[in-house]
Chains A and B, each alone.
Chain A
Amino acid sequence: GAVVSQHPSWVICKSGTSVKIECRSLDFQATTMFWYRQFPKQSLMLMATSNEGSKATYEQGVEKDKFLINHASLTLSTLTVTSAHPEDSSFYICSAPTSSGTQYFGPGTRLLVL
Chain B
Amino acid sequence: AQSVSQHNHHVILSEAASLELGCNYSYGGTVNLFWYVQYPGQHLQLLLKYFSGDPLVKGIKGFEAEFIKSKFSFNLRKPSVQWSDTAEYFCAVKEGGGADGLTFGKGTHLIIQP
Chain A residues with CB under 8 Å of chain B are 1, 31-32, 34, 36, 42-46, 49, 59, 93, 95, 97, 101-108
Q: Tell me whether B103 is interfacial, beta carbon within 8 Å.
A: yes
- B residues sitting closer than 8 Å to A (CB atoms) are 32, 34, 36, 42-46, 49, 51, 90, 94, 99-107
A59 to B104, CA, bound (A): 14
Nearest-neighbor residue (CB-CB) of B96 within chain A: A101
What is the count of residue pairs linking A and B with beta-carbon distances less than 8 angstroms? 52
B51 vs chain A, min Cβ distance (A): 7
Complex contact B90–A102 (CB within 8 A): no
Q: How long is the Cα–Cα vector from A31 to B46 in the complex, in angstroms?
A: 20
Question: Is B46's CB under 8 angstroms from A32's CB?
Answer: no
Q: Are B105 and A43 in contact (CB under 8 A)?
A: yes
Q: A32-B99, A44-B90, A97-B99 are in contact. Are A105 and B106 (CB under 8 A)?
A: no
